[in-house]
Amino acid sequence: MDLHKTIEKFFSDEGTLSNKFDNYEFRQSQLDMAISILDSLENKSHLLIEAPTGIGKSFAYLVPAIYFALQNKRKAVVSTHTINLQEQLIYKDIPLLKELLPVKFKAALLKGKSNYLCPKRLRYAIENSNSLFQPGETLELDMLHSWSKETDDGTISDVNFPVSPNVWNTVCAERGICTNKTCGGIEDTECFYQKAKYRLADADLIVINHHLFFTLLNGVKEDESDGYLYKDDFVIFDEAHTLESIAAEHFVPAMSREIIKYHLLRLYNDKKRRGFLNSFPALHVIPIVQNLLDMNQVFFQGIKRELFKKENGKYIKLAIRISEKNLFKNELREELTKLVNNLRELRKFCRNELQENELQDYILRFGEFNYLIDSFLELKDEDKNYVYWVELASQKPEANVSLCASPVDLSEFFRDNIFRDNNSCIMTSATLTVNNNFKYFKKRLGAEREQDLQLPTQFDFYNQVKMYIPKDIPEPKKENNIIYQNKLAEWIYHFITLTEGKALILFTNSAIMKNIAAELKEQLIADDIELLIQGEGMSRKNLLNKFKKNISSVLFGLDSFWLGVDVPGEALSNLVITRLPFQVPDHPLIQARLEYIDSHGGNSFMDYSLPEAILKFRQGFGRLIRHRNDRGIIALLDPRIITKPYGKYFFNSIEEIPVEIL
């Protein structure tokens, strides 16, 4: 089979897609992307593709991936960042391709292990419900048991009733607890995770998320150089702009006060008289758990008190960099060691292999806590250009305290593990370029030698969008003075009334967002415009659903609303960007990256701060036009784009549109 001709026919004016859809319009960019991916796969090379919204990039990579995988007996791994895209691929795009393509192929979705129900753990939980759960939680167990008899998927996203984290974490599949040995072979297993794994073994196309990809990548033997997760596979990363930050999270596991507290309470909760230890003659272990709960609180509170200073009743910073070894003593070490030793002694009381695995998981977990705290306090990998910091979750008195560490530069990791010779990796996103080139993204990910392709947009931005830039707003300052906020509120209200709602307002600062929301709320109510605000109790998904349904509403959003928001049509006709999204330079990780660049002869502003802001700006800009029939305005309330020399780079990185200075 000539794959080039087959793919060209699929996407052509009178090809397979055109016969399926009455109003089909041929998109040259879609075909160019598909052929480029096929060439890269055939050459066992790597390719970076910027594919703007509207070209149909999912089909553009799925079709060549499926044909190539089948013809060459190789597995195709598609990795995404968001659950929405995974579900679109597995429930919409792939079933349609199964209907359209003249070849048969098998596709499977794999989620992280803890997403799957473990029937054996569920039965164990039901048998020991009196010692593990409160009455309300046992009702959830009964509902899960009934659901487990009906579900094919077996994952928490398939559950259509509320399940508390405590219940789910007691019955889900877990590392070290659910194994091939405990859950049985393919012939007789009832384990949903094992079934999903067996489906993968037989699949031609596998869909996973970035987090899971890097988790599984760590478990692949180094000598298996021809492939990533399977022998001789290839990988396509969609939403590739998120890869660096996600990969960084996998170098050092998270460690915090609440993580330790959570697992201690799973062992034994004195207030509820419930927990795993109730199944053992473990009266001598329970006081150790109680003692550790108190010590854990005191240990992290001491770190918080020592590092975080207040001004006007608020912490000056929520993240403090650590550069001195053993600044604190691991006050938990001896008691954690004592707990681990006492848990080991309980092995002889285990009634079955599952219970023994549960116990072993606690032993390993609390041993790991000790190791991670010691590694953090000793700045173990400081010589490998790691940065260490302590972070508070919020300004609240009870806010979680986390010990954080991250590599400053990941280019070598990607060079060695992703862009390897004799492998194929495709990275695609709507935003990979800065100033119309891939130089920044390539340098961050060590992809300097790799091929790239920048595809043109399918939209007529010049006639679909107009940008307004008020010039009388003061430049945003760190102090966020009252004059600036008043002017910002004035212009936000002006643009909201201009379109009678239908507006997404993107902020970079939570306090300013809340202040302006409070100031405008009464006016908007009087105008019969519903105000939706991120962080006021409603989930992101529900906020977006309300925003889509009520076209007279306004949505105030922070960081997560700059990307992944897809609201085509009239409901989003007005995008207000309150500020150019430069990162806060005093966060320890950002600070360390800037220092690293400067120390290696670079210019940290031009080589990092500006490109990062442009990529985030492009993500925000991309929220407005999602379809060729969309129309709207963009209001940019930051005059620096026209007063600073670097402003031209922001303009150069977006499509040409009419701009009016007010």
Q: Please tell me the distance from the alpha carbon of residue 332 to that of residue 558, in angstroms, as a whole number.
A: 37
* pLDDT confidence of residue 283: 82
Taking the CB of residue 364, how many other CB atoms lie within 10 A of it? 14
Token output for 478: 């760190």
Environment class of 91 (CB within 10 Å of its CB; exposed 0-12, middle 13-18, buried 19+): exposed
CA 501 from chain centre, in angstroms, equals: 30
Contacts of residues 22-29 at CB distance under 8 Å and 24 or more positions apart, as own/partner, are: 27/55, 27/56, 27/458, 29/55, 29/455, 29/456, 29/458
Closest CA to 167 of 144, 195, 150, 192: 144
Please say whether the beta carbons of 362 and 267 come within 8 A: yes
Burial of 73 per CB tally in 10 Å (0-12, 13-18, 19+)? exposed
d(CA 366, CA 263): 9
Give the span between the Cα atoms of 74 and 204, in whole angstroms.
7
Nearest to 69 by CA among 90, 50, 42: 42
Average pLDDT, the chain: 90
Reference 398, options 257, 292, 262; nearest CA is: 257
User: Quick one: tokens of 401?
Assistant: 């305290």
Domains belonging to the chain, first-starting first, are 3-106+203-248+410-454 (3.40.50.300), 113-183 (no CATH), 255-380 (no CATH), 461-661 (3.40.50.300)
Three-state helix/strand/coil letters over 507-565:
CCCHHHHHHHHHHHHHHHHHCCCCEEECCCCCCHHHHHHHHHHCCCCEEEECHHHHCCC
pTM equals 0.87
In the Cβ-directed half-sphere of 661, how many Cα atoms lie within 13 Å?
7
CB atoms within 10 A of CB 92: 11
Outline where DSSP puts E strands in 290-448: 310-311, 314-315, 319-322, 386-392, 401-407, 425-429
- Amino acid in position 485: Q
CB 370 within 8 A of CB 295: no
172 by DSSP, 3-state: which?
A: strand
Locate 163 and state its tokens: 């399940």
Dist CA 622 CA 137 (whole Å): 43
Positions in the chain whose pLDDT score sits under 50: 221
Q: What span, in angstroms and rounded, lies between the C-alpha atoms of 113 and 192? A: 10
pLDDT at 23: 76
Four-point Cα dihedral 586, 587, 591, 592, nearest 10: 160
Q: Which two tokens stand for residue 191?
A: 């384990």
Q: Rounded to whole angstroms, how far apart are CA atoms 570 and 552? A: 10
Tokens coding 522: 């009464």
- Confidence at residue 479, expressed as pLDDT on a 0 to 100 scale: 53
48 is written with which tokens?
């970076």
Distance CA 119, CA 438 (A): 48
Helix (H) or strand (E) holding 340: helix 333-345
- Contact assessment for residue 11 and residue 34, using Cβ atoms and an 8 Å cutoff: yes
Rounded to whole angstroms, how far apart are CA atoms 220 and 231?
10
> CA dihedral defined by 43, 48, 54, 58, rounded to 10 degrees?
50
pLDDT of residue 357: 85
d(CA 350, CA 345): 10
354: nearest Cα among 234, 191, 231 = 191
Pairwise CA distance, residues 425 & 37, whole Å: 9
- Residue 585: DSSP 8-state: T
Report pLDDT for 197: 80
Q: How far is CA 290 from CA 132, 230, 233, 267, 565, in A?
A: 17, 45, 49, 10, 45
Q: Which tokens hold the place of 283? A: 């009266």
The whole-number pLDDT of residue 176 equals 67
CA distance 61 to 79: 12
DSSP code of 347? G
Q: What are phi and psi of 503, to 5 degrees?
A: -120, 135
The C-alpha atoms of residue 536 and residue 543 are separated, in whole angstroms, by 10
User: Which two tokens mark 235?
Assistant: 């990988």
* pLDDT score for 219: 56
Is residue 108 a contact partner of residue 199, using CB atoms and an 8 Å limit?
A: yes
Taking the C-alpha atoms of residue 346 and residue 511, their distance in angstroms, rounded to an integer, is: 50
Q: Can you give the pLDDT at residue 651?
A: 95
